Structure 1
Amino acid sequence: MNYQPDSVTSITLSAIPLPLATPISDAKVFTGRQKPMTEVAMLFVEIGTAEGCSGIGFSYSKRAGGPAQYAHAKEIAEAALGEDPNDIEKIYTKLLWAGASVGRSGLATQALAAIDVALYDLKSKRAGLPLAKFLGAHRDSVRTYNTSGGFLHASIDEVKDRATQSIEQGIGGIKIKVGLPDSAEDIKRLDAIAEHVGGTPLMVDANQQWDRTTALRMGRVLDRYNLVWIEEPLDAHDFEGHARLTTALDTPIATGEMLSSVAEHRRLIETRACDIIQPDAPRVGGISQFMRLLALADEAALDVAPHFAMEIHAHLAASYPRETWVEHFDWLDPLFNERMEIADGRMIIPDRSGLGITLSEQARRWTTDTVTID
């Protein structure tokens, strides 16, 4: 059977602010660098083709940048019209050059990411395969940990209650936030949670709020807890500082979520600045770029724990040769008609084709701006 070319005929962009039930605070709030987060700005892309195929993708921004992502995507999306949707790398490059004057990382590629993800969703749907199977899965489930219950705005009792709920729901690990101005308070919270969860795998996340001296001192204290990792102990771009910590500490160092290009991640890998790399597909430009990054990580024998957006990252993590951790956030649940299944500490890869998600009516109601380019 000969292949019949298809073409992109429509691209619908939707700006959807996702309200959070409770304002969220991590260490950046307590050090005065940011305000509590009250919503996540979502950019959704729905692509249609001449042959009647469709795909959905998304990107996001926290606290700032959502309207700018939407505006940039609106400017460049026309470049994909008429292209064969199977030629994802070609389309990515064309879109990249359409917006080249604002660079090849950060907001520019985060806007492009939503289109790239939608193209992968479309292509795997056309093949009748879940995205993980389309990419080539190594497993049908991935280890998962809860991170949305351990924020610093919550009391110790609240964090303990949420940890109990997560474990009972089948979550395999618990992460809590640290990085308070008073490190003794961090240790107090960690002691309480570590005792409460017993042998359940435990991680901590400082959200870049320690300097090198504090990170080393705290790291030496944290070594006694047998943590799965210490996340973002330093500024995300302090590659040398992170590299020193990976050498000095027994506890693995995890970082990478705030980096917004493959080039930045390559430097992280080349300097051996982490034991566990935490890329974010929407932040680095989509699935095309994420898969390039995974190849580099695999060559360097690094573990991987993608950041946020589990609806995308579960599929990508399943395609990595080594066992991974995927972050479980329930924040995005209201946006979709489907739910990720959790059992025995693992997130099950959906058997639906593509990403396996469809936008809910609630998401449609939250939409503040939408445009179809055809």
Structure 2
Amino acid sequence: MPDAIRHLTLSHVVLPLDNPVSDAKVLTGRQKPLSETVLLFVEVLTEDGHRGMGFSYSKRAGGPAQFTHLREIAEVAIGQDPSDIAKIYESLMWAGASVGRSGVATQAVAALDVALWDLKARRADLPLAKLLGAHRDSCRVYNTSGGFLQAGVEEIKEKATASLEAGIGAIKIKVGQPDWRTDLDRVAALKDHLGDVPLMVDANQQWDRARARRMCRELEQHDLVWIEEPLDAWDAVGHADLSRTFDTPIAAGEMLTSVGEHMALIDAGYRGIVQPDAPRIGGITPFLRFATLAAHAGLALAPHFAMEIHLHLAAAYPTEPWVEHFEWLAPLFEEKPEIRDGRMWVPDRPGLGFTLTQRMRDLTKETASIGRP
């Protein structure tokens, strides 16, 4: 008899940041400073006693909606064979079809999808990257958390130096301020401080097409690894145009919440770096679907946030990727990723290689128990 999903535990977790951070969306008045990350955790138990853990997340809004949506539809997974991940994914999407196939709907399902992949790799006694078919045992890693706009240049320099001393290989800072000259001054100062260390910048969607072209032209001199989200995230044509115009690569895709939205970039002739986010695109199952298409199109990969998941997915990508380092989720996991020599190393533990802490339990605001304990 095949195994079957017996029980699901859903947890709504609110993780406060030690210090609120601001990107360009805050300085342009479109959003408030980010003070917490809200997560949806799913723990799976099967009839044969196998377990898996996965998560999704939201920033500023959407966390309660993710929890509520998955609690409403997750019953359809009970009794299904946990090996049939794609089939389960489709059944969940059909169960919630009235709210669509992107946004909160996919982000809610993502947590369960990730948990099933974690379970499958744990049952095989393999790290997830090895189960998928790894191309490498480590990935280039860059830090973002020290480069937000509420911090002055000297503070960013100090944090960048600390990141490099911790073994991280590259630094990303935020741009997109109302005064574009301030952006250029900050980039020049960090480039001078870092020397040959790779540097990326992220405008968080705050330029229009005219300003983006001017800024990309000004930034060419700094030999950046990439310029991220210079335009609205859904402006596939604009991002494609920039990617074909400038030598500095254009990075985009972190905000997109379906394979179709990501494919709009490729269909528009995009030649940049794609940044799919597994919890946002709907989980590992749709992430892998898009990654295959992106690799076929010859695009580089740099998944957004959630390094605990994306380390494995990046390690399985054909060409050399980047992984984004954020320490924000560290209180939720017993283990820490190994970082040295500018790279993050795939753990040799089965599955994702991470287990939940008591701190995660303490931060849980609500749980839902589905199926038979």
TM norm structure 1: 0.98
Which amino acid in the other structure matches residue 75 of structure 1?
A: E
1:235 and 2:232 correspond = yes
Which residue of the other structure, out of 195, 209, 212, is the alignment partner of 1:212? Answer: 209
Residue in 2 aligned with 1:317? 314
CA distance in 2, matches of 1:86, 1:223: 48
Which amino acid in the other structure matches residue 240 of structure 1?
A: V
Which residue of the other structure, out of 95, 114, 118, is the alignment partner of 1:121? Answer: 118
SS of alignment partner, residue 294 of structure 2: helix
1:104 and 2:101 correspond = yes
CA distance in 1, matches of 2:241, 2:369: 49
Give how far 1:250 is off.
Answer: 1.1
CA distance in 2, matches of 1:158, 1:273: 35
Residue in 2 aligned with 1:170? 167
Residue in 2 aligned with 1:15? 12
Give how far 1:248 is off.
Answer: 1.7
User: How many residues were matched structurally?
Assistant: 371
SS of alignment partner, residue 17 of structure 2: strand
Which amino acid in the other structure matches residue 104 of structure 2?
A: L
CA distance in 1, matches of 2:341, 2:147: 21
C-alpha contact (below 8 Å) 2:244/2:271 kept by paired residues: no
Which amino acid in the other structure matches residue 115 of structure 1?
A: L
Residue in 1 aligned with 2:359? 362
Tell me the alpha carbon deviations over residues 245-268 of structure 1, each in whole angstroms, 9 at most, x when there is no partner. Answer: 112211000000011000011111
Give how far 1:126 is off.
Answer: 0.3
C-alpha contact (below 8 Å) 2:281/2:287 kept by paired residues: yes
Which residue of the other structure, out of 305, 308, 313, is the alignment partner of 1:308? Answer: 305
CA distance in 2, matches of 1:166, 1:274: 30
Which amino acid in the other structure matches residue 263 of structure 1?
A: G
Which amino acid in the other structure matches residue 40 of structure 1?
A: T
Which residue of the other structure, out of 153, 156, 159, is the alignment partner of 2:153? Answer: 156
Give how far 1:272 is off.
Answer: 2.2
Identity of aligned residues (%): 63
Residue in 2 aligned with 1:64? 61
Which residue of the other structure, out of 254, 268, 273, is the alignment partner of 2:270? Answer: 273
SS of alignment partner, residue 59 of structure 1: strand
Residue in 2 aligned with 1:47? 44
CA distance in 1, matches of 2:240, 2:188: 27
Structure 1 residues without counterparts, runs of 5 or longer: none
Which residue of the other structure, out of 142, 145, 148, is the alignment partner of 2:142? Answer: 145
Residue in 2 aligned with 1:340? 337
CA RMSD of aligned residues (A): 0.6
SS of alignment partner, residue 257 of structure 1: coil
1:183 and 2:158 correspond = no
CA distance in 2, matches of 1:241, 1:13: 39
1:350 and 2:347 correspond = yes
Which amino acid in the other structure matches residue 129 of structure 2?
A: A
Which amino acid in the other structure matches residue 339 of structure 2?
A: I
Residue in 1 aligned with 2:288? 291
SS of alignment partner, residue 357 of structure 1: coil
CA distance in 2, matches of 1:175, 1:272: 26
Tell me the alpha carbon deviations over residues 46-98 of structure 1, each in whole angstroms, 9 at most, x when there is no partner. Answer: 00000000000000000000000000010011000000100001100111100
SS of alignment partner, residue 368 of structure 1: strand
Tell me the alpha carbon deviations over residues 253-287 of structure 1, each in whole angstroms, 9 at most, x when there is no partner. Answer: 00000110000111111212341000000001100
Residue in 2 aligned with 1:93? 90
Deviant stretches of 4+, over 2 Å: none
Give how far 1:100 is off.
Answer: 0.4
Which amino acid in the other structure matches residue 348 of structure 1?
A: W
CA distance in 1, matches of 2:59, 2:237: 27
Tell me the alpha carbon deviations over residues 20-63 of structure 1, each in whole angstroms, 9 at most, x when there is no partner. Answer: 00111000000000000110010000000000000000000000
C-alpha contact (below 8 Å) 2:240/2:272 kept by paired residues: no
C-alpha contact (below 8 Å) 1:170/1:345 kept by paired residues: yes
Which residue of the other structure, out of 135, 151, 155, is the alignment partner of 2:132? Answer: 135
Structure 2 residues without counterparts, runs of 5 or longer: none
C-alpha contact (below 8 Å) 1:254/1:274 kept by paired residues: no
Which amino acid in the other structure matches residue 111 of structure 1?
A: A
Residue in 2 aligned with 1:35? 32
CA distance in 2, matches of 1:111, 1:87: 19
Give how far 1:244 is off.
Answer: 1.5
Residue in 1 aligned with 2:259? 262
